[in-house]
Amino acid sequence: MATIRDIAKLASVSSVTVSRVLNRDNTLSVSAETRQRILAIAEELNYRTPRNRKTSSNKDTTELNDNSNIKIGTVMFLTEDQEEVDHYFHAIRQGIEKECVASGIRTADKFRMSMYETPDMNFGDVDGVIFIDRPYDFNLQQVKQINNVVFIDSSPDVESFDSVVIDFERVTKLALDHLSALGHTKIGYIGGSRTYGKDQRQFHYERYMKEQELFNPEYVYVGGWWTTEGIRMMNEAIQKGDLPTAFFVANDALAIGAMHAVKEVGLRVPEDVAVVGFNDIDMAEYVSPPLTTIRIQPEFMGRMAVKLLLDQIKGRDTPVQVVVPSKLIVRGSSG
């Protein structure tokens, strides 16, 4: 089967240009001669776009229900080393791969991109793309040229794209209501940074604390997402003095690091500092004390994204947003 790359090579243009021409993008600035050359080569090679493939009248019901020829792309903005220590995004990708196998999809190509560079939207001949998170410099007009797109963990345009997300406002409130009910008023925050703005957990933490007239910017610590960063930021809080009596921490790796730092200076968890994490990784139940945390379902998020993508490929054109439920798991670290 001919691919977009085959056509691009013969026409001496980029794959993106070929894709936009074949999808009748009238906003593309390209000469009539080039446009005609691309169309002629595509016709000669008997190439059909994914959209044409799914709507072709000569396909019978059996073919429409056969996923074996479907090829999807998964875009991640983490390196392999970063993903290896990030349970959340690793579990999402595992969910995608498991659902591809369960659905009989031939393959899910992985594309790794930098959070700090404008992404290249050339994904070859895939039938759809799943974006796990997104970078700051993201051209949604380019994304709209891709047939069939699902975002996981972000929703940059709910009117145009499917997305699978967490209700961060609700789960942040669960954590903070729990700590407030235990009598804490000096509640700090430890979290990681985002390239495209403030992390939603931090945003909703700050809004909640301001509504309670308890917000203190000196209690907010933002850095990386790894366990060592949790140690570093908690040490910074301890050295500063006026230590909060509780912390809401944006992921379990950071929370475990934070608890380690507290115990290293002779303080106790939760008697001196209560901690609530986020993710409920396998280790959370076995640290000392066991970690109170928000249980989310990242593998399910990956599986749902594949199902949404298949639904698009088979004809649905109305965008859908799936909000995956999460719950508070109370253990010893919060008292």
Residue 28 vs residues 124, 141, 179, 215, 305: alpha-carbon distances, Å: 18, 11, 54, 49, 29
Q: Please indicate, yes or no, whether residues 250 and 107 belong to a single structural domain of this protein.
A: no
160 falls within a domain: yes
Same domain, 288 and 303: no
pLDDT band at 183 (very low <50, low <70, confident <90, very high): very high
111 falls within a domain = yes
- State how far the alpha carbon of 31 is from the alpha carbons of 16, 20, 43, 46, 71, in Å: 15, 13, 19, 23, 31
pLDDT tens-digit profile of 229-238? 999 999 999 9
Q: Could you please report the per-residue DSSP string of 130-187?
A: EEES--SS--HHHHTTSSSEEEES--S-TTTSEEEEE-HHHHHHHHHHHHHHTT---E
Flag whether pLDDT at 68 surpasses 80. no
Mean pLDDT over 58-73 rounds to 63
Q: Is residue 64 part of a domain?
A: no
Phi first, then psi: give them for residue 162, nearest 5 degrees.
Answer: -70, 150
Q: How far apart are the C-alpha atoms of 335 and 312, rounded to whole Å?
A: 47
Q: Is the pLDDT of residue 57 over 50?
A: no
The answer on 209 and 91 residing in a single domain is no
47 and 84 part of one domain: no
Q: Is residue 66 part of a domain?
A: no
Q: Are residues 175 and 290 in the same domain?
A: yes
| Sign, Cα dihedral of 287, 290, 295, 297 | positive
Owner of token pair 């021409």:
21
**For the residues 54-59, what does the mean pLDDT come to?**
48
In a shared domain, residues 176 and 290: yes
Judge whether 9 and 34 are in contact, CB under 8 Å. no
**Per-residue pLDDT tens digits for 92-117:** 989 999 998 898 886 667 776 665 56
* Most confident stretch, 40-49, 110-119, 253-262: 253-262
Residues present in the chain in total = 335
At 5 the pLDDT is 77
Q: Which of 55, 80, 96 is the last residue of a domain?
A: 55
188 in the same domain as 138: no
Whether residues 222 and 284 fall in one domain: yes
Contacts of 81 (CB under 8 A, 6+ apart): none
- Reported in sequence order, the residue ranges of the chain that DSSP labels E, i.e. its strands, are 71-76, 107-112, 128-132, 149-152, 162-166, 187-192, 220-223, 246-249, 274-279, 292-295, 321-324, 327-329
3-state secondary structure 12-30: CCCHHHHHHHHCCCCCCCC
Residues 6+ apart with CB under 8 A from 55: 315
Encode pLDDT of 203-239 as tens digits: 999 999 999 999 999 999 999 888 899 999 999 999 9
- CATH number, domain of 51, equals 1.10.260
pLDDT surpasses 80 at 53: no
Q: Could you tell me if 76 and 132 are in contact, meaning their C-beta atoms sit under 8 angstroms apart? A: yes
Same domain, 212 and 285: yes
Tokens found for residue 229: 């960063």
The reply to whether 223 and 269 lie within a common domain is yes
CATH number at residue 228: 3.40.50.2300
Look at residue 65 and tell me if it is in a domain: no
Q: Whole domain around residue 194: which residue ranges?
A: 168-296
- Specify the higher pLDDT residue, 29 or 277: 277
Same domain (yes/no): 155, 231: no
49 found inside a domain = yes
pTM of the model: 0.75
Tally of structural domains, the chain: 3
Whether residues 262 and 177 fall in one domain: yes
